[in-house]
Amino acid sequence: MLSVENLEAYYGTNYIVQQISLHIPEGKGVALLGRNGAGKTTTLKAIMGMGPKIKGAVNFKGRDITNCKTYQKARMGLGFVPEDRRIYQELSVTDNLAVGRYATAGRTEPFAMEYVLETFPLLMKLRNRKGGQLSGGEQQMLTVARTFMGRPELVLMDEPAEGLAPLIVKELAMVIRGFCQKWNMAILLAEQNLWFSRYCTEYVYLIDGGKIVFKGSWDDFDDQEDIKRKYLSV
């Protein structure tokens, strides 16, 4: 579904993402683990074309999208959920969701607003509230729901569990996993929360200092106690 070959990303002259390759099969979940500053966000932004200068090749659904514009990638079915949520503060919850619809343009029909609201029951009660008046957890739900509105075929999700209460983390994991399986949606999940990542994905990549230092299944990952200690703060 998505294959990234020898991707490099630069901020100015800073060489951040260093020759990484990733493969995400259709409908599957892939976790991108790594400690703070490892390069997770930069990798997702590089794939999406949001900021860093890039080299290398990004293929999506068999097409070379390295030089496509961000909005074109979104319309091809590449969804993006940012780590800082980026809710439209002055728009209501439903208007925030409505903006998410346009990613389906020329590809498929968007989900019905009611269906997405049912999937995120927390948002249902808040539908007329302004985005800026939601709690952190509610905003996190909304940013995920907004991207889901556009029916992505692969969603790049940046640390959705960060800073959330354990109960909300659990609810979010169940919603995301359920949605991905129901709609055969693939996910590339940048995370530091191992429980959350394990719940939502099948494969693991570990990134450190901008390089991939491990890839494999969760079983492979569990077999190697030392990498966990070396590359993650657990």
Partner 1 sequence: METLFLPLVNGLTWAMMVFLVASGLSLVFGVLKILNFAHGGFFMLGVYLTYTFIRNHALSPLKFFLIVFLCGIILAIIGAILERLIIRRFYQLDEAYMLIATYALLLVIEGSVEGIWGLQFLALPSPKGLGGGTEIFNTIIPSYSLVIIAAGVAVAVLLNLLINRSPAGKIIRAAAGDPDMTSALGINVPIIYTMIFAFGIFLAAIGGGIGAPNQAITPTMASSFIIQAFGVVVVGGLGNIGGAFLAAIILGLVDSFGTIYLPQIPGIAFYAAMALILLVKPHGLFESSISTK
CB of 119: closest distance to partner 1 in angstroms? 18
Q: Which does 112 bind (CB under 5 to 8 A by kind): ligand ATP, Mg ion, partner 1, none?
A: none
- The amino acid present at 192, given as its one-letter code, is Q
- Whole-number Å distance between alpha carbons of 25 and 19: 20
Tokens, residue 114: 């009611």
Decide: is 86 part of the binding site for partner 1 (CB under 8 A).
yes
Q: Which does 14 bind (CB under 5 to 8 A by kind): Mg ion, partner 1, ligand ATP, none?
A: ligand ATP
Q: Which DSSP category does 110 fall into?
A: P
Please report where in the chains the tokens 């079915």 appear, as a residue.
77
Pick 104 or 147: Cβ nearer ligand ATP: 147
Decide: is 42 part of the binding site for Mg ion (CB under 5 A).
no
CB of 162: closest distance to partner 1 in angstroms? 17
Pick 44 or 97: Cβ nearer ligand ATP: 44
3-class DSSP assignment, residue 102 = helix
Pick 138 or 208: Cβ nearer partner 1: 138
Q: Using only C-alpha atoms, what is the Rg of the chain?
A: 17
Pick 69 or 229: Cβ nearer partner 1: 69
- Whole-number Å distance between alpha carbons of 178 and 122: 16
Strands 211-217 and 63-64 come out as: unpaired
Among 54-62, 94-102, 176-184, 208-216, which window interacts with partner 1 (CB under 8 A)? 94-102
Decide: is 201 part of the binding site for partner 1 (CB under 8 A).
no
- Whole-number Å distance between alpha carbons of 169 and 160: 8
- The amino acid present at 193, given as its one-letter code, is N
Decide: is 66 part of the binding site for Mg ion (CB under 5 A).
no
Given 41, 43, 104, 139, the residue binding Mg ion (CB under 5 A): 41
Residue closest to 39 by CA, chosen among 8, 17, 15: 17
Strands 78-81 and 154-158 come out as: parallel
Binding site for ligand ATP (CB under 6 A): 11, 14, 16, 34, 36-42, 83
Contact 33, 232 (CB under 8 A): yes
x/- contact string, 18-47, with partner 1 (CB under 8 A)?
A: ------------------------------
Scanning 49-102, the segments in alpha helix (DSSP H) are 70-76, 93-100
Interface residues with partner 1 (CB under 8 A)?
48, 50-51, 69-71, 74-75, 80, 82, 86, 88-91, 95, 98-100, 102-105, 131, 146-147, 150
